[in-house]
Amino acid sequence: MMPSGETVTFSQLESRSNQGAHLLRKCGLRRGDVIAILLENHPSYFEIALSAERSGLYFTGISTHLSAKEAGYIVGDSDARILFACNRTLPAALEIAAMCPGLIVFAVDGSAKGARDYVAERDKQPGTPIADESMGAPMLYSSGTTGRPKGVKFALPDIAITELDALTDLGINRFGFEPGMVYLSPAPLYHAAPLRWSLSAIKLGGTVIVMEKFDAAYALELIEREQVTHSQWVPTHFIRMLKMPENDRSHYDLSSHRIAIHAAAPCPVAIKEQMIAWWGPIIHEYYAGTEFNGLTAITPEEWLTHKGSVGQAKFGTVHILSEDGDALPARQEGLIWFEGGSQFQYHKDDAKTASSYNEKGWSTLGDIGWLDEEGYLYLTDRKSFMIISGGVNIYPQEIEDVIVTHPRVADVAVIGAPDADLGERLVAVVQPLDMADAGEELAADIKAHVLAHLGRIKLPRQIDFMEELPRLPTGKLYKRLLRDAYWKEAKRI
């Protein structure tokens, strides 16, 4: 359901995804081929993904926030043979088609010059299953926050399309997914978690409520109006809801809401404490990547006695290793490795794939963290975000977690900028709740706030203000863009 009120029923979804599968076969696609989806959160998204899934294809969702050149790289790199676009993304899709000879562009909103009419061609196909149904899989691309995005590719599942996959089983056993559930998805469907969890809910006979774009007040309204039982969030969503006036937040009846799941980025302890105080002990957290090489999870009850943890391993075994590959003791930070999780590869990048595995066959996503004596994992930050200032390794996540709790701060990123004396100096790029507050007085207040919680070595030497940080709707920050701007500026001086 969208704000327009458009609803797709289960029978329509079943029929249309079968018709879509016939159309994909008619276009010459066979098991192992790839389609790309360049859509906003559109009513056709699920039927296209399911058409590909029941045809044994890989389907690649692409961010609508990318330029045509950036999206075109993903289309070309993925070897996609068909690109689906809507009215808003069609101009970019046609530019991409010019870069990728032989690419078929389907317009999902009706006929358009330079593209084929998806609905018209789909409706000519039978609504019954294709003769050679087999299970496909998503091949989603990393967000590219620290470099060019890479496709995460798994072997196609050797299961019948009626069988439940591992993620759906996890939803049932860990997060109470069940027939009749009402699942709210406030994030873009091109991202792994919203797409995969939504498909799991649908396969179990649940209703999925999709937001076109996240809005804090509207999300709360939907929980009340649609009697939402399950939902999935990122910490940025929590922060924006908590910044609402108390009277506005308390206006909504959230009593139907039984399970809220969050992931994608570490959640500041103070933020999660406030959310549990507001919503009650219904907030579950997990840590995993698009690569699904392992997963940890933690219940709200566990979290209250292990604050800041992302839980114990539920899929794969967690190891913390030093730079030299040695096992580290409890409470010592190192690179996080998973043993026994899913095997993956980065499409067309053997070197990156090889660098993600060690000689034991364990894999890493490049995150830093530590384990306590009970095996609960705590995330520090990404290795690539580490700042070396005056010879000291500093991870910015801890500093960001403090600054974002300042009452006049909406968002923040801490980066390392070049410094002749220290090598790198800490810079906090702050998005104020009100840009009119930006200035020396707020900067001084933020510094005092940091010193009230952290040592002076973690105090940003410079605080700059930005009207809006380059954060993806999935909650991930394009930190690379911020950092690169400071380093490029230094080279010009």
The pLDDT tens digits for 29-82 are: 999 999 999 999 999 999 999 999 999 999 999 989 888 998 999 999 999 999
In this prediction, residue 480 carries a pLDDT of: 76
Asked if 373 and 354 sit in the same domain, the reply is yes
**Angle (deg, nearest 10), helices 396-403 and 269-279:** 50
Residue for token digits 């061609």?
A: 121
Q: Could you tell me the CA-to-CA distances from 464 to 443, 469, 487 in Å, in that order?
A: 8, 11, 15
Tokens of 332: 């010592």
Helix (H) or strand (E) holding 172: helix 166-175
- pLDDT score of 301 more than 90: yes
- pLDDT score of 93 more than 70: yes
In this prediction, residue 350 carries a pLDDT of: 92
**Angle (deg, nearest 10), helices 216-225 and 235-242:** 90
In this prediction, residue 147 carries a pLDDT of: 57
Q: What is the CATH number for 340?
A: 3.40.50.12780
Query: How confident is the model over 214-245, as pLDDT tens digits?
Result: 999 999 999 999 999 999 998 889 988 999 99
Would you place residue 1 in the very low, low, confident or very high pLDDT band (cuts 50, 70, 90)? very low
Asked if 290 and 402 sit in the same domain, the reply is no
Residue where a domain terminates, one of 102, 136, 163: 163
Distance CA 230, CA 256 (A): 9
In this prediction, residue 471 carries a pLDDT of: 80
Tokens of 291: 């690569």
In a domain, 196, yes or no: no
Looking at the chain, the whole-number percentage of residues with pLDDT higher than 70 is: 95
Alpha carbon 456 to chain centroid, angstroms: 33
Asked if 73 and 151 sit in the same domain, the reply is yes
Asked if 240 and 304 sit in the same domain, the reply is yes
Asked if 302 and 358 sit in the same domain, the reply is yes
In a domain, 201, yes or no: no
Strand partners, 141: 151
Handedness of CA 406, 408, 411, 412 (dihedral sign): negative
In a domain, 188, yes or no: no
Strand partners, 378: 309, 370
Residue where a domain terminates, one of 383, 405, 434: 383
Query: How confident is the model over 444-457, as pLDDT tens digits?
Result: 999 999 999 888 88
Residue where a domain terminates, one of 357, 383, 409: 383
Q: How much is the average pLDDT of 336-350?
A: 92
In a domain, 85, yes or no: yes
Distance CA 295, CA 192 (A): 14
Domain total in the chain: 3
- pLDDT score of 117 more than 90: yes
Asked if 148 and 284 sit in the same domain, the reply is no
Range of the domain at 252: 212-383
Looking at residue 302, its amino acid is E
Would you place residue 146 in the very low, low, confident or very high pLDDT band (cuts 50, 70, 90)? very low
In a domain, 182, yes or no: no
Asked if 351 and 433 sit in the same domain, the reply is no
Distance CA 429, CA 116 (A): 45
Asked if 321 and 424 sit in the same domain, the reply is no
Asked if 273 and 419 sit in the same domain, the reply is no
Q: What is the CATH number for 458?
A: 3.30.300.30
In a domain, 32, yes or no: yes
Strands 309-315 and 82-85 turn out to be unpaired
Query: How confident is the model over 173-187, as pLDDT tens digits?
Result: 999 999 999 999 999
In a domain, 447, yes or no: yes
Q: What is the CATH number for 45?
A: 3.40.50.980
- pLDDT score of 266 more than 80: no
Asked if 253 and 312 sit in the same domain, the reply is yes
In a domain, 3, yes or no: no
Q: At 406, phi and psi to the nearest 5? A: -65, 135
Asked if 396 and 378 sit in the same domain, the reply is no
Average pLDDT, the chain: 91
Asked if 235 and 255 sit in the same domain, the reply is yes
Neighbouring residues of 394: CB distance < 8 A, sequence distance ≥ 6:
386, 387, 388, 416, 426, 457, 458
Q: Cα torsion at 306, 459, 427, 380 (round to 10°)?
A: -20
